[in-house]
Each structure stands twice: as structure tokens, then as C-alpha cells.
């Protein structure tokens, strides 16, 4: 199944660079928001995971900037997973304005215990994320 989580957001004036474009560092924050919102929606919010001694730790981010966002834009952060491994996951995300893709991001995240050591992803996490697992992008 190819389900993508979607989270709407509006570009605020303080997120703009001196040229009036959405600052490149804000894209990373928006992508993070998309992943956190997906986890919240499926009952695996960060506090819930932490209470069970698990966390996702980002180990690699690759962002491609394709078109600028501007103040007042209403955007969609689209999030899916492209791979679930024993102790890691690969996430693919896009930021869209209508049908135009402004940026994409691929994230590799390790599953760790509360001491930050990689651990096998428990079944309850894998099963909850499975509907969002899509093929390679």
C-alpha cells in the first residue's frame, strides 16, 4: 500500500530569508514536523515512544531544494517510509504548494533505546508504520 501522511502548514514571515524566500534551514524543521505529526497520528508520539524506552535518531538527511516557498504559502508536508530495517528506517518526504514540489528530503533514522544505542525495531512500531511504507522514490 502506498499511503502518504499529509500535514498542512502556512509559511510565516519570520521563516523567510532576506530575499523573501522560505529559509533553507526551515525546510528541515518542516520535514521534522511532518515526521512527528505522522508518529502522533498513529499513536507513537515522541513521549509515548520515550515512555517505552525507544526513540528515532536521525543519522542522515539529504534535502533537495527545487523551488522557493514565500510568505503566506499554504504548503503540504508529505511523509512516507521507503524502507524498514531491523534497527533503522528510511523516510521520504516532499513539501508541496498545490501540485508543485518545492523540496524533497530523504532521512535515515536509527531506532535506539533511551541510552541512544541501536536496537531492533519492535513489532508494535513496525506494524504501526507499515501502512506508510511505499516503494523507493
Indicate which CATH number applies to the domain containing 80: 3.10.129.10
What is the average pLDDT across 24-31?
Answer: 96
Has residue 89 been placed in a domain?
Answer: yes
Res. 1: pLDDT tops 50: no
Determine the Cα–Cα distance for residues 65 and 34; give it in Å rounded to an integer. 17
**What residue numbers bound the domain in which 38 lies?**
5-132
What is the average pLDDT across 29-53?
Answer: 96
Res. 39: pLDDT tops 50: yes
What is the average pLDDT across 70-97?
Answer: 97
Cell readout for 16 is: 523567510
pLDDT at position 115 is 93
Domain count for the chain, please give it: 1
Determine the Cα–Cα distance for residues 14 and 16; give it in Å rounded to an integer. 5
pLDDT at position 136 is 63
Q: Check if the beta carbon of residue 107 is closer than 8 Å to that of residue 93.
A: yes
Has residue 108 been placed in a domain?
Answer: yes
Has residue 137 been placed in a domain?
Answer: no
Amino acid at each position: 500500500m502506498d499511503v502518504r501522511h499529509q500535514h498542512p502548514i502556512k509559511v510565516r514571515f519570520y521563516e523567510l530569508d532576506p530575499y523573501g524566500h522560505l529559509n533553507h534551514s526551515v525546510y528541515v524543521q518542516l520535514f521534522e514536523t511532518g515526521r512527528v505529526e505522522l508518529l502522533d497520528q498513529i499513536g507513537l508520539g515522541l513521549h509515548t515512544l520515550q515512555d517505552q524506552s525507544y526513540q528515532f535518531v536521525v543519522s542522515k538527511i539529504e534535502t533537495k531544494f527545487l523551488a522557493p516557498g514565500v510568505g503566506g504559502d499554504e504548503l503540504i508536508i508529505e511523509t512516507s517510509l521507503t524502507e524498514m530495517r531491523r534497527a533503522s528506517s528510511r523516510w521520504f518526504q516532499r513539501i508541496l504548494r498545490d501540485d508543485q514540489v518545492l523540496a524533497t528530503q530523504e532521512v535515515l533514522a536509527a531506532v535506539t533505546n533511551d541510552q541512544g544505542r541501536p536496537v531492533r525495531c519492535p513489532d508494535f512500531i513496525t506494524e504501526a508504520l507499515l501502512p506508510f511504507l511505499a516503494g523507493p522514490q
